[in-house]
Structure 1
Amino acid sequence: MTASGEHAFLVEIADDAAEQERGLMFRPPLADDRGMLFQFPVAEEQGFWMKNTPSSLDIIYIDPTGRIVSIASHAVPYSEVTLPSNGAANGVLELRAGRAEEIGAVPGARVKHPFFKP
């Protein structure tokens, strides 16, 4: 990811319905250099929740070019409230809560991954 600098993450890819439904449910907190990237075939309004997710996350919504659309920071564990992307996104990156701010990720910054085509 590039925001104020380069930051590398080892991400699990959730690119099918079963992986996307399960996400990070029932999992321990993520390490600083870990994340989960959800890939969707079409860019549209996305919405995530924290059902059965025991640790707080930053949920980063990303458009097809790799630009960050929005960030839901410090999502509340176990919450069933939907956190909308507030814009078309076909990628969603989940990181440990607070990590997005630590690395300087902000809307408009670019995420580099082969899935995104700048």
Structure 2
Amino acid sequence: MRILPTIGASTAGALLFSGMAWAEDCAPDRADLRGDWGQARFTVELADDPLERARGLMHRESMAITHGMLFLYETPQQVSFWMKNTLIPLDMLFLSADGTVARIHQNAVPLDLSPIDGGADILAVLEVNGGVAARFGIAEGSVLRHPSLDQSIAVWPCAGPE
């Protein structure tokens, strides 16, 4: 197993995994991403009901570089976010039902009330620290693995061969 630090000393512990199959399977508090750029793992909090989705990451002054929040919806839908009461810049990865990153909004401005349109047919949104998507090379077409996705249609399912 080869583990490479991604962004240097300021992000000790942020890991980018390259060219390997992960022995561990999915867990509710973990979101794995992969693409042509490699693989990354984030420890996530889930926002899977209306109250949790409305609160999101509001009022937080910081978040570890390896952490994020995964917003989950019951069905694919049009989603829109804003940064009201959100104190840290965020990257928002808008995901289709199969776990594919359909759109990325980078560096959402703290406290901004402008709507951030995620598009139609979005089932999940992964919020991570602003700038992380660009630093890792995460792009549209990358895929997310998480047990809350429908494993029968997931591009990268939790179980089975890597």
Superposition TM-score, scaled by structure 2 size? 0.70
One-letter amino acid matched to 2:99: G
> 1 CA distance for matches of 2:94 and 2:41?
17
Does 2:38 correspond to 1:2?
no
> 2 CA distance for matches of 1:58 and 1:41?
22
Q: CA deviation at 1:26?
A: 0.2
> 2 CA distance for matches of 1:16 and 1:58?
21
> 2 CA distance for matches of 1:28 and 1:15?
22
Give the greater-gyration-radius structure (CA).
2
> 2 CA distance for matches of 1:72 and 1:91?
14
> 2 CA distance for matches of 1:10 and 1:83?
24
Equivalent residues in 2 for 1:1-118, closer than 5 Å: 1-3=33-35, 4-116=37-149, 117=151, 118=154
Q: Percent identity?
A: 34
Provide structure 2 residue ranges, at least 5 long, that are not aligned to the other structure.
1-32, 155-162
Give runs of ≥4 in structure 1 deviating > 4 Å.
none
Provide the secondary structure at the position in 2 that maps to 1:65: coil
Superposition TM-score, scaled by structure 1 size? 0.95
Q: CA RMSD in A?
A: 1.0
Relative contact order, CA 8 A, sep 6+: which one is greater? 1
Provide structure 1 residue ranges, at least 5 long, that are not aligned to the other structure.
none
Q: CA deviation at 1:101?
A: 1.1
